[in-house]
Amino acid sequence: MARNLVFILALTSLCIGLAAADWNILSKKSKNRDASSLKIYCESWRINVELNNIKDFEVVPQECVDHIKHYMTSAQYTADSERAMEEVRLHVSSCCALQGDGKDAWIFDVDDTLLSTIPYYKKHGFGGEKLNATSFEAWMKQSKAPALDHALKFFHEIKDKGVKIFLISSRSETLRSATVENLFNAGYHGWSGLTLRGLEDDFMKVQQYKSEARRALTKEGYRIWGIVGDQWSSVEGLPGAGRTFKLPNSMYYLS
């Protein structure tokens, strides 16, 4: 009888341990997460994307799509983006001894830096669906992406200081006319250069392509004081800048 009791207690303890292990919010195999633990898990996933700890994902985990949707359309996303731009302004106010010789430069990415692709992703799962390049480019050709107001304000502020603005985008060269039209419609004007990916750039990863574009600018004598982008591939690599700033975006990852 005592031996049976010990066996039952041991079996019960083992089952409790297994249940506890299954509940762990960091376990991808957990099937019993409640709403609270799922929210914690998905926010942890989002934060680690922003920290560049989670890389090269093709889609947002299905269980986290609603969480990413909520964040990217929330006041928190707006506040995070605006705070990032405030840090840019603080940096510019104290860091840069602008020469005024036409060689002071600042670089912006385009998508989800100057223009928002959220209207597209609202109809395509907020990153929960694998990107359909044909569909995405068809949407870009409509030239209807809205401006991100926090970036629009800083764009004109830095331009008014006499800094040359260069836009380096991973968009295809075939989208040049649509991109220029969209930028104008959204309130952007007066940039000094717009670099898009040509056929010769297709074999390169985004980071390498953007590094090469910056190298071309430095060879022309430009001093790159800063870079603003929503992807790590926009701000990493050499040559660098005086400082780089990453805007939030956990819908997709471009390497």
Cα angle: 61, vertex 64, 66; to 5 degrees: 130
**For residue 202, what pLDDT is reported?**
85
The residue behind tokens 């249940």 is 19
Q: In whole angstroms, what is the distance from residue 204 CA to residue 137 CA?
A: 19
pLDDT exceeds cutoff 50 at 10: no
Q: In whole angstroms, what is the distance from residue 72 CA to residue 61 CA?
A: 15
| 87, 245 contact by CB (below 8 A) | yes
**For residue 94, what pLDDT is reported?**
85
Reduced DSSP (H G I as helix, E B as strand, rest coil) percent helix, strand, coil of the chain, to 5:
50, 15, 35
Residue 99 burial (CB count, 10 A): 10
* Signed CA dihedral, 217, 55, 228, 128: sign only: positive
Q: In whole angstroms, what is the distance from residue 220 CA to residue 231 CA?
A: 25
**For residue 149, what pLDDT is reported?**
96
pLDDT exceeds cutoff 70 at 210: yes
Q: In whole angstroms, what is the distance from residue 222 CA to residue 208 CA?
A: 19
> What value does the mean pLDDT of the chain take?
88
Residue 243 burial (CB count, 10 A): 17
**For residue 96, what pLDDT is reported?**
76
pLDDT, tens digit (0-9, with 9 covering 90-100), for 141-194: 999 999 999 999 999 999 999 999 999 999 999 999 999 999 999 999 999 999
**For residue 174, what pLDDT is reported?**
97
**How many percent of the chain have pLDDT more than 70?**
87
pTM: 0.84
| Reported confidence tier of residue 22, pLDDT bands at 50, 70, 90 | very low
Q: In whole angstroms, what is the distance from residue 33 CA to residue 23 CA?
A: 6
**For residue 48, what pLDDT is reported?**
97
Chain-centroid distance of CA 190 in Å reads 24
**For residue 216, what pLDDT is reported?**
97
Q: In whole angstroms, what is the distance from residue 181 CA to residue 184 CA?
A: 5
pLDDT exceeds cutoff 70 at 12: no
**For residue 20, what pLDDT is reported?**
33
| 206, 255 contact by CB (below 8 A) | yes
**For residue 93, what pLDDT is reported?**
87
Q: In whole angstroms, what is the distance from residue 251 CA to residue 127 CA?
A: 5
Identify the residue with better confidence: 174 or 22: 174
Lowest-confidence segment of 25-29, 155-159, 198-202, 210-214 by average pLDDT: 25-29
Lowest-confidence segment of 18-32, 126-140, 178-192, 215-229 by average pLDDT: 18-32
Q: Which residues contact 139 (CB under 8 A, 6 or more apart)?
A: 120
| 176, 194 contact by CB (below 8 A) | yes
Collapsed DSSP state (helix, strand, coil) of residue 224:
strand
Lowest-confidence segment of 4-13, 75-84, 216-225 by average pLDDT: 4-13
pLDDT exceeds cutoff 90 at 196: yes
**For residue 95, what pLDDT is reported?**
78
| Reported confidence tier of residue 134, pLDDT bands at 50, 70, 90 | very high
